[in-house]
Amino acid sequence: MFEIWQMNQADILAGLKVTLMASLIALIGSLIIGTFMAIFQVSKTKWLKRLGNIYVNLFRNLPLLIVVMFLFVVLPLYGLKIDGITAGTIGLTLYTSAFIADTVRAGIEGIPKGQAEAGVASGLNYAQVMWYIVLPQAFKIVIPPLGNQFINLVKNSSILAMVTGADLMYQGDLIASTTFNTIGTYTLIGLIYLALTLPLSYLMKYLEVKLAVS
C-alpha cells in the first residue's frame, strides 16, 4: 500500500483534487437547490408545491448512475456535449438536492406554525418569514440528517469514475489495473475516503451540539 502511494502519489493527489472540487461544488449547489425545493414543497402556491414535489420525487427515485449517464451520454446526442467531471458534478448535485429538500422540508414542518403567523402579523412577507424565522430554526433541527447527506455526497462522488471523471476512484481503478495490486490500491483509496468523511462527520456532530446549546 505504501509502495503504491509512493509510486502513484501525483495521480492520486490529482484525483483527490477532482473529488474535493466536485464534492464542494455539488454540496453548495445541492444545499441551495434543495432548500428552494423544500420551500416550494411547503408553499401555499399550488404550482410551486407541485414543482417541488415533482423535482424531489423524480431525482430521489432515480439511480444516481442513470442521472449521470443521461447527462454524459444522452445529452451529447442532441448537441449538448458535457465532459465527465461536469456531468458527474451536475448529476451529483441534482440527485443529492432531492434528499436535502426532503430533509429541510421536514425541518420546516417541525417549526410551530404560530411563529410564521407571528412573523406575518408583524409585517414580514413570506420570503422574510422563511429567511429570518423558519429556516434558521429548521436547519438546527435537521443538522444530523443533513450531515449524513453531505457524507453520502462525498462517497457518491466516486460515480465520476464511471464517466472518466478523473476523480480519486478513477485513478484508483487505473492504478489497480496497471499494478495488479487490487487489495493494496483499494485499501489506500478507501482510507483516503475515510480521511475525507470522518472529519465531516465529527464537524456535523460539533455543530449539532453547539447549535443545541445556543
Domains of the chain: 2-213 (1.10.3720.10)
**One-letter amino acid for residue 198 of the chain:** L
User: What is the pLDDT at residue 212?
Assistant: 64
Measured in residues, the chain has a length of 214
Fill in the amino acid letter for 69: M
C-alpha 143/C-alpha 207 separation (Å) is 8
- Residue 138: per-residue pLDDT: 87
Q: 182-213 and 143-156 are packed helices; what angle lies between their axes, rounded to 10 degrees? A: 160
Instruction: Give the three-class secondary structure for 15.
Output: helix
Grouping H, G, I as helix, E, B as strand and the rest as coil, residue 132 is: helix
Q: In the Cβ-directed half-sphere of 207, how many Cα atoms lie within 13 Å?
A: 15
Predicted TM-score (pTM) of the model is: 0.88
Q: Find the largest Cα–Cα distance for the chain.
A: 68
* pLDDT score at 63: 94
Query: Which pLDDT value is given to residue 85?
Result: 92
Q: pLDDT tens, position by position, for the chain (214 residues)?
A: 677 877 888 888 999 999 999 999 999 999 999 999 999 999 888 999 999 999 999 999 999 999 999 999 999 999 888 899 999 999 999 999 999 999 999 988 888 877 777 777 777 777 788 888 888 888 888 888 888 888 999 999 999 988 887 889 988 998 888 888 888 899 999 999 999 998 888 887 887 777 665 5
CB atoms within 10 A of CB 136: 12
pLDDT of residue 166: 83
Burial environment of residue 51 by CB neighbours within 10 A (0 to 12, 13 to 18, 19 or more)? middle
